[in-house]
């Protein structure tokens, strides 16, 4: 199947559901609990697409390495896939200091990605934390 967004329709005796799913070209990783705080951050290797489940008021924390000056894109797919998730993404340094905060990826937006043009130093490992609540 080609990379990109694909529509689907599911018919059952109880009704019909129409949705969207994505076929990606990046390596796919699954979120592994516990990863709700800095101490339990899940190590990942970029580039990657992370599949996860965000429960109400859940935090998922991931740790990755980034080179100074590297551009990274963080894209929350949930809204475009029909989810009512109201998500945020926070980019942190290894000490937990906030570098970037992306709030309220509105469910009507068709595109929600953010790039970070410069990261602090070659030795820093970066973290990102996503959280959300269902509307």
Give the distance from CA 84 to its chain's centroid. 15
Confidence (pLDDT) at 81: 72
Sequence-distant (≥ 6) Cβ neighbours of residue 43 within 8 angstroms:
62, 63, 64
pTM, rounded to two decimals: 0.73
Task: Give residue 100's pLDDT.
Answer: 79
Domains of the chain: 25-134 (2.60.120.380)
Please compute, for residue 101, the number of CA atoms within 13 A of its CA located in the half-sphere on the CB side. Answer: 5
| Cα–Cα distance, 135 to 132 (Å, whole number) | 9
What pLDDT was estimated at residue 102? 76
Q: Residue 110: is its pLDDT beyond 50?
A: no
Residue 93: CA atoms inside 13 Å, Cβ hemisphere, count? 12
The more confident residue out of 123 and 41 is 41
Strand partners, 68: none
Q: For 30-79, write each residue's pLDDT tens digit.
A: 999 999 989 999 999 989 999 888 777 788 899 988 877 777 778 777 77
């Amino acid at each position: 199947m080609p990379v990109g967004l694909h529509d689907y329709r599911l018919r059952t005796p109880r009704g019909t559901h129409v949705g969207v799913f994505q076929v990606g070209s990046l390596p796919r990783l699954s979120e592994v609990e516990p990863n709700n705080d800095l101490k339990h951050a899940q190590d990942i290797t970029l580039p990657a697409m992370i599949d996860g489940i965000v429960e109400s008021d859940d935090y998922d924390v991931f740790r990755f390495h980034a080179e100074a000056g590297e551009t990274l894109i963080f894209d929350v797919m949930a809204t475009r896939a029909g989810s009512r998730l109201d998500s945020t993404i926070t980019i942190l340094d290894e000490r937990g200091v906030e570098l970037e905060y992306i709030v309220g990826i509105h469910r009507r937006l068709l595109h929600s990605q953010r790039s970070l043009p410069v990261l602090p130093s070659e030795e820093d490992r970066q973290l990102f934390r996503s959280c959300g609540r269902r509307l």
